[in-house]
Structure 1
């Protein structure tokens, strides 16, 4: 069976975060290391086949996705952990890095088959969106063991999501409409719980967002096709503007995934200033959607929390021009005289990874390279 193993590697404690050049170098070292491996020796000499890898480097380390063929989940996880630790150890410049997390996930189509095969009272619902919402519950990790569907379970998950809020380091709760003590008007901390739930759900949704994008990128690469023609179910990329579905191929998926990693890294490490490009605007839209579905799944999306998320979105987005990409009647407006009069920036897919301004950050892997433009569908 094919397993997707997520591995989070970190630079040594106390080390300075990597600059752009160092991140490019670290990514190249990791990719070269994986390319030299065809099979991994698992426990008791068990052979584990290496099918595909993805490396996403951020200032504090690298997020890896390793696809392997293994007879059991435990074999896949242990084999990949040992492989990554060995690659780090034998690479001098990465030898002080550590493996912080190594988790196994089923490949998307196999997971769907598994759900389809289930029966009995706990069988999953028929529609894809409900299944996706059900699987979302796995992203946040363990919660206190209580009876499912009970008030105790809701309270436990509410508490867990609220404790995740501080990890959204780029923003205070005021971005979600919470009133800090001492402000004019009503005193106290009005809306704090709603704000914490909204912020924590964005952290929870980050795991969901990246995992779904990893799965979609792998499916498109495996079938060598695009979203419009892919036989495997898409988890997320089919929610991008449908007018460009034929151009959402494996290379696009990888660029969009790296953009989402760069965005969520800035949100959680505290360096976020503004959305940098159209692709980030769309990734942020999907992150908000995953946060809402997470809250709704656990019965926590009430009016107060919805308002907190809306307040946050309004403050982060400078404009909502990207929404016109979902309206076919506005196709080409960004290139028209009307678009120029309204100050609408180019929104065609060819400009999605172009920074809005000189301060906008786009990851080097995803950024446009006018001197070495690669056609969609080719290897980077």
Structure 2
């Protein structure tokens, strides 16, 4: 079975963040390292085939997607961890980098396919979530072998509260906390959002960023493998099929890559403190997916109470300049994205060809996602 293994590698602690030139060099070193790999030996001599890699470097490290063919999830993860560690060790400039995470995240529709891959006395449990918990988080499994949902929820909540500090572009006020109460304990805020609810909402957005980017990598690879568009894709997709359905046949590989870059660019500005305003329609749609992912994660662990929900709503209200992009999801508003119709209603152009066009000269769109003259946006690969 083919597995997409996600690997986070980070620069040494205390090292200055990489500038654009250093990041370009890191990409070249990592990609050339993978190019030199002829094969991977898994545990106990098990053969693991390296199929493809995607490398995304950010100032503090790199996020890798390594696609391998292996008999079981565990073999895929162990083999990829070993080969990445070896690549770093062989490169003088990357030798001090650390592997922070190496794991497979299975789509629910595909998870069951991995269960028959291993056998013997230590065969993993049949339930996919329990299997994953056992492999990556054994401390969260109760002695009876049942997953301790309450302990996991507390663990995730604590993690989100810590992650909140990474959302540097937004103060608690952006989440609905009244000015002057940002540093209070928030126990008596009346109907206002408490600082703790705002902190949990902020952390949930950072937590969701990791999930969203990770799964969009999978979506890009799925489209590449099938050489098709979202509208014709037979494989399981995480997020791209949740963009406005009217354009599904135009969401090809090139579009998917541009959208992934847009998500990374937007969330990087969220976390490095440089965010000012959303830059284009693609970013408005990206934020919609991010907010939905954050809510889904919170709900999954029983953390989406009224206060946190209100904090996320306040954040959306403060970041979005308007909600015109929602009309792209409304079938009754078909045609609103046409320039003439939109102009008549006082709506900025929302046609597919304008999704990556900056709203004005002061907005930032990543060069890898920006419009190209005469480009066939979103066309299926040939």
Quickly name the TM-score band, shorter chain normalised. 0.7 to 0.9
- Alpha-carbon distance in structure 1 between the residues aligned to 2:132 and 2:14: 34
- Alpha-carbon distance in structure 1 between the residues aligned to 2:341 and 2:375: 33
Please say if residues 9 and 62 of structure 1, whose CA atoms lie closer than 8 Å, have aligned partners that are also in contact: yes
Please say if residues 243 and 285 of structure 2, whose CA atoms lie closer than 8 Å, have aligned partners that are also in contact: yes
Label 1:376 to 1:182 Cα distance change in 2 as closer, same or farther (>3 A).
closer
- Alpha-carbon distance in structure 1 between the residues aligned to 2:133 and 2:25: 36
- For the residue of structure 2 that corresponds to 1:164, the secondary structure is helix
Please say if residues 136 and 208 of structure 1, whose CA atoms lie closer than 8 Å, have aligned partners that are also in contact: no
- For the residue of structure 2 that corresponds to 1:165, the secondary structure is helix
Match of 1:128 in 2: none
Matches within 5 A, 1:290-301: 290-301=293-304
Match of 1:352 in 2: 355
Please say if residues 4 and 67 of structure 1, whose CA atoms lie closer than 8 Å, have aligned partners that are also in contact: yes
Match of 2:80 in 1: 80
Matches within 5 A, 1:76-225: 76-106=76-106, 109-111=109-111, 113=113, 155=154, 157-179=156-178, 181=180, 190=189, 191-225=194-228
- Alpha-carbon distance in structure 1 between the residues aligned to 2:115 and 2:309: 30
Label 1:293 to 1:182 Cα distance change in 2 as closer, same or farther (>3 A).
closer
Match of 1:7 in 2: 7
Matches within 5 A, 1:30-45: 30-45=30-45
Match of 2:121 in 1: none
- Alpha-carbon distance in structure 2 between the residues aligned to 1:93 and 1:373: 39
Q: Report deviation, 1:202.
A: 1.5
Label 1:239 to 1:95 Cα distance change in 2 as closer, same or farther (>3 A).
same
Q: Report deviation, 1:246.
A: 0.6
Write out per-residue CA displacement over residues 273-300 of structure 1, whole angstroms, 9 at most, x where no aligned residue. Answer: 2222222211110110011112222333
Match of 2:255 in 1: 252
- For the residue of structure 2 that corresponds to 1:212, the secondary structure is helix
TM-score (norm 1): 0.80
The answer for unaligned runs of 5 or more in structure 2 is 117-124
Write out per-residue CA displacement over residues 316-367 of structure 1, whole angstroms, 9 at most, x where no aligned residue. Answer: 1122221121124444435434533665333222222233334433333333
Does residue 270 in structure 1 map to residue 273 in structure 2? Answer: yes
Label 1:99 to 1:330 Cα distance change in 2 as closer, same or farther (>3 A).
same
Please say if residues 58 and 262 of structure 1, whose CA atoms lie closer than 8 Å, have aligned partners that are also in contact: no
Match of 2:242 in 1: 239
- For the residue of structure 2 that corresponds to 1:169, the secondary structure is coil
Q: Identify the range of structure 1 (99-108 vs 270-279) with the bigger mean alpha-carbon deviation.
A: 99-108
Q: Report deviation, 1:229.
A: 1.2
Q: Report deviation, 1:51.
A: 1.1
Q: Identify the range of structure 1 (343-352 vs 279-288) with the bigger mean alpha-carbon deviation.
A: 343-352
Please say if residues 198 and 308 of structure 2, whose CA atoms lie closer than 8 Å, have aligned partners that are also in contact: yes
Q: Report deviation, 1:114.
A: 5.8
Q: Report deviation, 1:248.
A: 1.4
- Alpha-carbon distance in structure 2 between the residues aligned to 1:352 and 1:318: 16
Does residue 319 in structure 1 map to residue 318 in structure 2? Answer: no
Counting matched residue pairs gives 364
- For the residue of structure 1 that corresponds to 2:105, the secondary structure is strand
Q: Identify the range of structure 1 (219-228 vs 156-165) with the bigger mean alpha-carbon deviation.
A: 156-165
- Alpha-carbon distance in structure 1 between the residues aligned to 2:131 and 2:273: 29
Q: Identify the range of structure 1 (27-36 vs 311-320) with the bigger mean alpha-carbon deviation.
A: 27-36
Q: Report deviation, 1:314.
A: 0.8
Q: Identify the range of structure 1 (210-219 vs 237-246) with the bigger mean alpha-carbon deviation.
A: 210-219
- For the residue of structure 1 that corresponds to 2:264, the secondary structure is helix
Match of 1:127 in 2: none
Please say if residues 231 and 248 of structure 2, whose CA atoms lie closer than 8 Å, have aligned partners that are also in contact: yes
Please say if residues 328 and 337 of structure 2, whose CA atoms lie closer than 8 Å, have aligned partners that are also in contact: no
Q: Report deviation, 1:195.
A: 1.3
Q: Aligned match of 1:309 in 299, 307, 312?
A: 312
Label 1:151 to 1:234 Cα distance change in 2 as closer, same or farther (>3 A).
closer
The answer for unaligned runs of 5 or more in structure 1 is 117-121, 125-130
C-alpha RMSD of the superposition? 3.7
Label 1:38 to 1:284 Cα distance change in 2 as closer, same or farther (>3 A).
farther
- For the residue of structure 2 that corresponds to 1:196, the secondary structure is helix
